[in-house]
Amino acid sequence: MSFAAAGAVVLAALLDRLVGEPPNRVHPVALLGRAIAPLDRAWNSPAEMGLSIAIVLPVLVGAGVGAVVAVVVSLSVPAATVVAGLVLFSATSLRMLLAEARAVERLLGEDIDAARDRLRSLAGRDSSDLDASEIRSAAIESIAENLADGLVAPLLAFALGALVSLPVAAGAAAFVKTVNTLDSMLGYPDKRHGTASARLDDIVMWVPARLSALALAVAAVDPETPWRARGWVDRVPSPNSGWPMGTVASALAVRLEKPGVYVLNDVARTPESADVDRAIRLVSRAGWLVWGLAAFLLAYAGWL
């Protein structure tokens, strides 16, 4: 079954490269977001309800996806490989992420207000007063952080699940993507019903964030970048996102800043236009390294 999982990884990587993202009207993550939206309201017992949402919804989604793949496996392993590849494709994202960063940089040369608006597709921060270097910093931070959220986390879950079975692999990837989606929609300090989702996301992302930093270091051909970033990661409120962001700041030798919240690599210069392009290339190399390594290791496990 590891060979089938390797084939699913290759299929998902190719679809990401060739297609990018399914249309929003049929994208499973967008549909999941629409299902979560009604849960984002005041509850009589927000802590208890938040815990139930954080646990039950990812388990239901993961189990449902796994059950579908299990049924297909019983009929045809090649067909199940395709279905699992489509699940992984839906749960991961690299091309669209990098395309959005390119679009933000392109708009900076034309209309800074348009660039501020476009930045909202990458970063959740208030962009209304950001200057050009702060917009570039936000774009670079977002593609670094989302390498972990959007690719490494679901792909790692898929690869580990594949050691058990293809249905478990697909279900694990769906579980992680649901946890990430809940955190992105509910995991804010002013939403008590989202606290459990945020904490679960912190746990799920602990390893992927650090693996992403290692992948970025390898892609930068500078193994010391995560070590240098260690001095900055505690400045970021998240226990995880500082690792890939700090590694990119170190690799590019630029200052990354969320005004009023944190500064990474504060002795460096602020990012310029060329630095966004460098960051895109770096994250792209790291992403393809992760895709390739996952496919290779799964294929190798099939030989054992």
pLDDT > 70 in the chain, percent: 99
C-alpha distances (whole Å) from 176 to each of 48, 66, 122, 173 are 21, 13, 20, 5
Predicted TM-score of the model (pTM):
0.94
CA atoms within a 13 Å half-sphere pointing along the CA-CB vector of 262: 20
- Quote the pLDDT of residue 177: 96
pLDDT tens string 249-270: 999 999 999 988 999 999 999 9
Q: Is-contact 174 61, C-beta < 8 A?
A: yes
pLDDT band, residue 92 (cuts 50/70/90): very high
Q: Parse the chain into domains and list their residue ranges.
A: 2-303
Q: Is-contact 250 265, C-beta < 8 A?
A: yes
Q: Is-contact 139 86, C-beta < 8 A?
A: no
pLDDT band, residue 1 (cuts 50/70/90): low
Neighbours of 22 (CB within 10 A): 15
Average of pLDDT values for 70-78? Answer: 95
